[in-house]
Amino acid sequence: MTPTLTALGGGFRAEIQQLRRSRLLIVLTIAEAVTFLVLVSIFGLTGSHVPTAVVDRDGGRLARQWAQVMATSYHTYGVRYMNGRAAEQALGRGDVAAILWIPPGFSRHMASHRMIRIHFRVDNVNADLTTEAELGIPPVARAFGVANHFPGIRVVTAEKDLARHEVGFIPYLVVSALALAAFVVAGTLAASAVAREFESRTLAYLRLSPTHPLVPIAGRLLATAAVSAGAVTVAALLVVAGYGVVPDHPIEMAAALLLCVVIFSCIGAAIGTVVRRTQPLSALIFGLALALYLDSGSLEPARFYGNRLWVVAHTSPVYYAVGIIQQAVHEIQVTPETAPVNFAALIGWALLAAGAAWLGLRRAVVA
Amino acid sequence: MTEEAEVPRNVTMANGLAPALVPDAGAAELRGDRHQPGATAALASPVVRLADVSCRRGRRQALHRVSLEVQPAQVTGVLGPNGAGKSTLLGVVAGLYRPFEGAAWVLGEHLPARGPGLRRRIGVVLQETALYEELTVAENLRLTAALYSLARAAPRITEVLELIDLADRANDVVARLSGGLRRRVTLARSLLHQPELLIIDEPTLGIDAEARHAVWQHIRLLRTRGTTVIVASNYLDEVQALCDTAAVLHEGRLVTHETPEHLVAQAGQCLDLDCAADATAGITDLVLTLPGVSRVEASSSGLTVFLRGNADPDDIVREVLQRAHIGGFRVRAADLAEVFRVLDPAGKG
């Protein structure tokens, strides 16, 4: 074995030994990857439906059909059947955001194609939810009218899907969360490994050895990347087994996640070189990761939010990572850039980060 | 190659022009067994040669035209107060800092041309322990073995741990070790690759007396095995206990390079006299008239009388007792501050 490989292996082994002795850190690292899935799932659950009480004072067939149309209206209403008193109490407590009263005689009026007033009460404590609730009613009325062949309503839908299949909000979110988990876990562990060299002043000692100091550090980074890959694998298995999201291209998914781990390890190393202290690293990387995550098409494709945000998103490595992973798992293209372009951009980011880390370490070594 | 062949001549000339930098040969002969290796080594080519080396640390000039030779199989002390340039000098020899002026050779190699081969021949103990705290002693040494590509690392690690009396602590995590033990681990780490030259910065910094003596013992052992050692220290007694020669630095300048015994002899001794405050003036006037007294200072318990190297403290005490009353007296060696005062009477030291 060459001296360089021996030193690389020495650094790798030392980091594994160090991490083995920090079992709590490893447990927390794996838990961190999993908690992101839970975090985004909760986010998806809270944001996807307006909880709405339906008080059916008619009880007829068409009244039930109206409520059914509301419930199936895509990502708008979370319908709960209640009596009037319970609905008022639920609105007062904030359990529901709106109450829709179906008046007595609704079915009879509808059957004879006569107009009837529907009372819809919306809690305006949350403007976003209020607007969504208000805007949802006309499409429901239109869908209801079309289904019952009301005169004057003629809607012809010719749908041609861009994607081969539709992807649910939560399956979309949890896949993006894997990119976030890779960023946080690989970034934190790599940054800590590098920052520790500064904190313990072992960098000067490495410099005195016949091996280039960056070789054992590279060995340490390989070890943190291996551990990060393990943590992300646990999260990915949970996505498959727990959320039932089966990747269309599992090998591509694994490769994309592995690449993410490598790239975010490089970025973490660069951050560690700049910060040089282990204590603020977790908070810094978590703070960076959330901003990058939200801005990177992790919730929906970034281009939906307008040009400015879309431009900003392009500065984030998570944007390209999400693009690659969504493609690998759901086979949907969420970025205007193709997968090879996203790969190239991510590799560019990795090279940039590795270069920054190398320069920072080299500067520290010379200093 | 031509340049290397010319180097020794240049350095010899430099030393010839600066005889004060050569350790006192006469004193070396008087030291008996302990100093024989040094005396014979003086004929061999030096392990370290610095010729008019200057070095900057940031904006500060840490070394100013320092010329120094370190002989093989000797322990050379680099003595000086904090900020004197000791660590910089060691850093230059270890290859951490580059001199911006002058020339330096270590183990026959010109310093700017130093590479992995030379680093393999040098062991360094930095002022900071710089150990991987979460690793065990053995794991730290295994990493070092990997960095130096040591063949048959395991038996060598065992050997070094036994040499430094750390065999029973091999599996202890460094973070749980005391300061003295950590210092010994750094020493073990620096010896793992069997260096020809060992550089130790402040070997006993922040450790207790027992650990201090243990470290000294290990350094002496290395010397007997033929390893050349350079030790930077703040303490005169440490240099006296360990070193064959001592290079004294002050504000980046080499003040002298001689045997510790000669250094101490130059600095003389201190005589502490316990006396009443109203008696100090009279005793001072008296003592200053006596031969061998260089100066007198007031102390918390009375007076401190500084004696030249040849003065006998008993004579001084006898004279004082005949003419004044003193409560007691103590004779002690001069400290580093006194050495500087003697070496730099103008007060720059």
The CA distance from B141 to B161, in Å, is 9
Question: What mean pLDDT is predicted for residues A317-331?
Answer: 87
Q: State the CATH architecture for A51-147.
A: 3-Layer(aba) Sandwich (3.40)
Cα separation, B81 vs B89, in Å, equals 13
Nearest to A296 by CA among A312, A315, A313: A313
Percent of chain A with pLDDT over 70: 89
Chains A–B, number of C-beta pairs less than 8 Å apart: 78
- Pairwise CA distance, residues B59 & A315, whole Å: 39
Do A22 and B134 count as a contact with CB atoms less than 8 A apart? yes
For residue A344, which amino acid is it?
Answer: A
Length of chain B in terms of residues written: 349
Chain B touched by A340 (CB under 8 Å): no
ipTM of the complex: 0.70
Residue B332 in this model has a pLDDT that exceeds 60: yes
> In the CATH hierarchy, which top-level class contains the domain B269-333?
alpha beta
Predicted local distance difference test score (pLDDT) of residue A162:
58
Tell me the per-residue pLDDT of B64-108, one tens digit each, with 9 for 90 and over: 999 999 999 999 999 988 888 999 999 999 888 887 788 999 998
pLDDT of residue B9: 30
Identify the band that residue A367 occupies on the pLDDT scale cut at 50, 70 and 90. Answer: low
Residue A354 has pLDDT above 60, yes or no: yes
pLDDT in tens, A77-87: 888 999 999 99
Write out chain A residues lying below 8 Å of B135, CB-based: 14, 17-18, 21
Q: Considering only alpha carbons, which residue of chain B is nearest residue A196?
A: B132
| Closest residue of chain A to B96, computed from CA coordinates | A208
Sorting pLDDT into bands at 50, 70 and 90, what band is A300?
A: low
Q: Contact A134/A89 with Cβ under 8 angstroms?
A: no
Question: Among A173-182, B35-44, B196-205, B287-296, whose mean pLDDT is lowest?
Answer: B35-44
pLDDT in tens, B256-266: 999 988 888 87
Predicted confidence at residue A44, as pLDDT, reads 65
pLDDT band at B124 (very low <50, low <70, confident <90, very high): very high
User: Inter-chain contact B131–A10, Cβ cutoff 8 Å?
Assistant: no
Q: With bands split at pLDDT 50, 70 and 90, how would you rate the model's confidence at B12? A: very low
Residue A180 and residue A289 in contact, taking contact as beta carbons nearer than 8 Å? yes
Q: How many Cβ atoms sit within 10 Å of the Cβ of residue B55?
A: 24
Provide the residue ranges of all domains of chain B, joining segments of one domain with +: 269-333
Q: How far is the alpha carbon of A4 from chain B, nearest alpha carbon, in Å?
A: 8
A213 in reach of chain B (CB within 8 A)? no
What pLDDT score does B42 carry?
A: 44
Which chain A residues have a beta carbon less than 8 Å from that of B117?
210
Residue appearing with tokens 């004879």? A112
Centroid of chain to Cα A262: 19
Q: Is the pLDDT of residue A318 over 80?
A: yes
pLDDT score recorded for residue A333: 80
Alpha helices by DSSP H, A295-338: 307-313, 317-330
Rounded distance, CA A84 to CA A103, Å? 11
What's the mean pLDDT in A242-253?
Answer: 89
pLDDT, tens only, B307-330: 887 788 899 999 999 988 899 999
Task: Judge whether residue A331 has pLDDT over 90.
Answer: no
Binding-face residues of A in 109-128 toward B, CB within 8 A:
none
Write down the pLDDT at residue B253: 92
Task: Report percent pLDDT > 90 for chain B.
Answer: 40
**B31/A contact by beta carbon, under 8 A:** no
> Which one of A41-45, A279-283, A335-339, B46-50 scores highest in mean pLDDT?
B46-50
The residues pairing with B22 across neighbouring beta strands, listed in sequence order, are none
Contacting residues for B215 by C-beta, under 8 A, at least 6 apart: B180, B183, B184, B187, B203, B204, B207
Q: Given CA atoms A120, A123, A128, A129 in this order, what sign does their dihedral have?
A: negative
Query: Which candidate in A202, A220, A224 is best for mutational testing of the B interface (most B CBs within 10 A)?
Result: A202
Location of each CATH 3.40.1710.10 domain in chain A? 51-147
Q: Which of B36-40, B164-168, B204-208, B274-278 shows the lowest per-residue confidence on average (mean pLDDT)?
A: B36-40
Q: Flag if A208 and B120 touch (Cβ within 8 Å).
A: no
Whether the CB-CB separation of B246 and B263 falls below 8 Å is answered with yes
pLDDT at B5 over 60: no
Higher pLDDT, A4 or A307: A4
Confidence of residue A239 (pLDDT cuts 50, 70, 90): very high
Contact B119 A209 (CB under 8 A): yes
To 10 degrees, what angle do helices A23-48 and A3-20 make?
A: 70
Q: Residue B349: is its pLDDT beyond 50?
A: no
Distance from CA of A98 to the nearest CA of B (A): 57
Task: Give the per-residue pLDDT at B13.
Answer: 30
Within a 10 A sphere around the Cβ of B263, how many other Cβ atoms? 28
Sheet with B228-233: strands ordered across: B122-125, B197-201, B228-233, B75-79, B245-250, B253-258
Supply the pLDDT for residue B171.
94
Residues 6+ apart with CB under 8 A from A22: B134
- In this prediction, residue B345 has a pLDDT band, given cuts at 50, 70 and 90, of low
Q: What is the pLDDT of residue B99?
A: 79
Q: What is the pLDDT of residue B30?
A: 30
Contacts of residue A207 in chain B, CB cutoff 8 Å?
A: 96
What pLDDT is stored for residue B299 in this prediction?
87
pLDDT reported for residue A100: 93
